[in-house]
Amino acid sequence: MSGLIYHVFTSSALVSLGLYHLICTTKNHLRSPRDYFTKPYHPFTWHYQPITRHLQLYLIILCLLIAFAHQTSISFDSDPLVKGRSPVHHFTSLQSAGVVFLFLILSVALLISEITPYLPFPPDLFFGTASALFFLQYSVSSSSASLQISDLEAKCDSVSASISALSAALCIILACHPRLFVADVGLGASICLQGLWSLQTGLSLYVDAFIPDGCHKLLDVVSGVEGSTKCDLEDSKLRATAILDLVFVVYVLFVLLILIVTYAVTAKIVGVRRFGTYEALPTSSVSATDSNHIQMKAMTGTQA
């Protein structure tokens, strides 16, 4: 049960962060496309108290602390199926805890940079560092997928690694091209997708109703450590993998729908008209034509 609660908590935090990033990024771009510049985080502008203004960073740090404590604690869970040697999940959990701790350090450094003058942290350096951490997360998830005894958990870790690789690529693009709105929106969407997949991972591993046919949890393992979900036959394993691939495609479509709806609603609230920046072009061209026509008539009258 604790594993499912942790995945639900992780999913809620990531989806909320990604959605907030999408809304703020879209709003900033619609208000001033020419002056648009990507930001590491978006402060709450409705209140100018320091604590409230940096509330997002405080919440991120709190969530990372909880995630670090959880990953560290489960690394010491005993596996009753393994006797006389260290289970694999001890090392994979510690690796995950290390990655979370690095993200925690990055968030604290950004907070210090915002509230004090002692640690200037430019956006390109932040996104470059975040790209390195996402790539490290990709490496850890890929390694965990290759070492897992559980077939379902290996597949879930593999998909999570792919999403982390996408986030790493988008962060390095933003570090080099901070005005690229598409990459900034894509980063928010990838965070939402990671959150939704974390929820699916928890459901597939810890909820009997969501475990595919032919796969089951081992009764000897209560806490959900490695090897707790098995597929008896190869056909069952392939079918479960295909189901997870299909679910992932559905989540991608859902995130795309979220992106479109977010853009439409934000544009409606901001008050930007469709193609408003291009409607002035015909007027300017007509004015130029009228001006040339008037000048031609004046020159004709002078010659007469």
**CB neighbour list of residue 187: distance below 8 Å, 6 or more residues apart:** 21, 167, 170, 171, 174
Q: How far apart are CA 257 and CA 263, in angstroms?
A: 10
Q: How far apart are CA 104 and CA 111, in angstroms?
A: 11
Nearest residue to 29 via CA among 181, 143, 173, 187: 181
Global pTM?
0.82
Mean pLDDT by 10 residues, the chain (304 residues): 83 94 92 88 69 84 93 70 51 87 94 85 91 94 76 86 95 94 94 95 84 72 56 82 93 95 90 50 45 46 44
For residue 294, the model assigns a pLDDT of 43
For residue 284, the model assigns a pLDDT of 45
Residue position matching structure tokens 């004709």: 300
Residue 19 forms part of a structural domain: yes
Residue 283 forms part of a structural domain: no
Count of structural domains within the chain? 1
DSSP annotation of 276 reads G
For residue 148, the model assigns a pLDDT of 67
Structure tokens at 244: 């997870």
Residue 47 forms part of a structural domain: yes
Q: What angle do CA 252, 238, 135 make, to 5 degrees?
A: 45
Residue 282 forms part of a structural domain: no
Residue 143 forms part of a structural domain: yes
**CB neighbour list of residue 21: distance below 8 Å, 6 or more residues apart:** 42, 184, 187, 188, 191
Q: How far apart are CA 193 and CA 177, in angstroms?
A: 23
Residue 302 forms part of a structural domain: no
Quote the domain boundaries for residue 212.
Answer: 2-272
Sign of torsion, CA 114 120 124 130? negative
Residue 301 forms part of a structural domain: no
For residue 44, the model assigns a pLDDT of 76
Residue 93 forms part of a structural domain: yes
